[in-house]
Amino acid sequence: MQFFNQVVPAGVPTRKVGIMGKCCQWWLRKRGWAIAGKMANEPKMVLIVAPHTSNWDFVLGVMFMLALGIKLSFFAKHTLFKGPMGSIMRSLGGIPVERSRAHGVVENIAAQIGHNEQLIVALAPEGTRKAVYPWKSGFLYIAQNARIPVQCVGLDYQKKCLMFGPVLTVSNDVMASMESVYLFYRAVTAKYPQQTITEPNA
Instruction: List the chain pLDDT tens, one digit each, 202 residues.
Output: 566 666 789 999 999 999 999 999 999 999 999 999 999 999 999 999 999 999 999 899 999 999 999 999 887 777 778 887 788 878 877 777 776 555 567 777 788 788 888 989 999 999 888 999 999 998 998 898 888 999 999 999 999 999 999 999 877 888 999 999 999 999 999 999 999 999 887 6
Q: What is the pTM of this model?
A: 0.88
B/e letters for 155-176, b = 16+ CB within 10 Å, e = fewer, are bbbebebbbbbeebebeeeeee
Q: Give residue limits of the domains in the chain.
A: 18-192
